[in-house]
Amino acid sequence: MGITAKELALRLSGTIEGDPNVEISRVARIEKGEKGAISFLANPKYEPFLYSCKSSVILLNRDFQPSQQLDNTIIRVEDAYSAIASVLSMIQESKKSKKRANGWYYLRPVSSKIGKGTHIGRGTVISPKVKIGKNCTIYPQVFLGRGVKIGNNTTLYPGVKVYDGCQIGDNCTIHSNTVIGADGFGFAPLEDGSYKKIPQTGNVVIGNNVEIGANSAVDRATMGSTIIGDGVKIDNLCQVAHNVEIGEHTVIAALSGFAGSSKVGKYCQFGGQSGVVGHLEVADHTTLAAKSGIVKSVKKEGEILMGYPAIEHRHYLKSYVIFKQNGAK
């Protein structure tokens, strides 16, 4: 069963032009719209596709005026790009499985507690003294170590591993094969050239509304906690080392890494394949370009950095002119 345009408009605080009873069940790109789908226009360069789009419903910004007549049902909102994210969430919720844990095969000791409305997939292992909140979805083949705590409305996709003592907050999403709480990379050099492992006795604490992509790793602290703040978004294939602290609402693109005990501020942005050297501090609102590396602490808020070692991006661009000239000789 789909969602009507009337329901969408109500939830998006939008206004309808056209049939309020038309239903949608999926989202389609504006250049490949089809009946039963909803599309959106946020970037003006896609406007030519608008007039041939066959989607049942189209999201438009309130101030946009089409140059041709549209036969689709239109929902006008303040920001079509942000609104489509809400639509995707609605559709996902409407498709969620309603199966209960009853009859599913998973291991659960008596000492663990599972909240009402939580669904657990086949082959999942729940260790002693685990606490899982309400309305969570734990997919098959997940492992939860001893004493793990998970908040409400959190989703763990297949193959996620959460080691002993780690904590995950409310409304989090952890994608497949991500590991939370593996040992940090701690080894002490010995006189004979070999290395002695340093026990990693801490844990990982993940805040609320965090999303971590597939095949990423967040290591437990040597002592204390590795901390992922509220609202942090981490892409696939990222590495967060022991005792790292990532501030609230920081976003991190794929293949990025943070060495041990680095502390990243709030509202930072890290491009793909970027990194931070250990034991450094990065100020709030810092932006680091892709394939760049921070090798000394960033104290000024709001800087845009580029290169390796990372420097202020305008200085890097000026330097790059010289790099190109020398390379051409």
**Per-residue DSSP letter, 120:** E
Are 189 and 303 found together in one domain? Answer: yes
Backbone angles phi, psi at 58, to 5 degrees: -130, 130
CB atoms within 10 A of CB 287: 18
Q: Side-chain half-sphere of 125: how many Cα atoms within 13 Å? A: 10
Closest CA to 58 of 68, 44, 72: 72
Are 91 and 175 found together in one domain? Answer: no
Are 184 and 65 found together in one domain? Answer: no
CB proximity list for 185: less than 8 A, separation 6 or greater? 219, 241, 242, 260
pLDDT value at residue 321: 84
Number of domains in the chain: 2
Cα–Cα dist 78/100, whole Å: 38
Cα–Cα dist 55/284, whole Å: 41
Are 39 and 176 found together in one domain? Answer: no
Cα–Cα dist 168/151, whole Å: 6
Are 184 and 66 found together in one domain? Answer: no
Are 59 and 199 found together in one domain? Answer: no
Which of 95, 110, 140 corresponds to the end of one domain?
95
Which of 55, 77, 95 corresponds to the end of one domain?
95
Are 312 and 207 found together in one domain? Answer: yes
Closest CA to 136 of 163, 113, 166: 113
Are 182 and 303 found together in one domain? Answer: yes
Output the six-digit token pair for 225: 């906690």
Element (H or E) spanning 82, and its range?
Answer: helix 80-95
Classify residue 50: in a domain, yes or no.
yes
Which of 71, 95, 119 corresponds to the end of one domain?
95
Cβ(161)–Cβ(138) under 8 Å? Answer: no
Cα–Cα dist 220/72, whole Å: 52
Classify residue 155: in a domain, yes or no.
no
The one catalytic residue in 242, 285, 313, 315 is 242
Output the six-digit token pair for 281: 């501090």
pLDDT value at residue 98: 45
Q: List, as one string, the DSSP characters of 268-307.
A: -EE-TT-EE-TT-EE-TT-EE-TT-EE-S-B-STT-EEET
Which is it for strands 131-132 and 149-150: parallel, antiparallel or unpaired? parallel
pLDDT value at residue 142: 95
Q: How many residues are recorded in the chain?
A: 329
DSSP 3-state of 240: strand
Residue 81, CA distances (Å) to 36, 37, 43, 86 in order: 19, 16, 9, 9
Classify residue 228: in a domain, yes or no.
yes
Classify residue 153: in a domain, yes or no.
no
Classify residue 34: in a domain, yes or no.
yes
Classify residue 148: in a domain, yes or no.
no
Are 187 and 308 found together in one domain? Answer: yes
Output the six-digit token pair for 201: 């006795």
pLDDT value at residue 50: 96
Over the chain (329 residues), what is each successive 10-residue block's mean pLDDT? 89 96 94 95 94 97 95 96 89 60 58 93 92 95 96 97 98 98 95 95 97 98 97 98 98 98 98 98 98 98 97 90 73
Classify residue 117: in a domain, yes or no.
no
Are 180 and 42 found together in one domain? Answer: no
What is the CATH number for 50? 3.40.1390.10
What is the CATH number for 170? 2.160.10.10
Is 313 an active-site residue?
no
Closest CA to 136 of 118, 159, 156, 151: 118
The boundaries of the domain holding residue 63 are 3-95
pLDDT value at residue 100: 44
Crossing angle of the two packed helices 5-12 and 80-95, in degrees rounded to 10? 120
Are 227 and 89 found together in one domain? Answer: no
Cβ(188)–Cβ(195) under 8 Å? Answer: yes
pLDDT value at residue 327: 67
Classify residue 23: in a domain, yes or no.
yes
Are 86 and 200 found together in one domain? Answer: no
pLDDT value at residue 241: 98
Closest CA to 39 of 64, 56, 18: 56
Residue 112, CA distances (Å) to 79, 140, 165, 319 in order: 44, 18, 13, 58
Cα–Cα dist 161/174, whole Å: 10
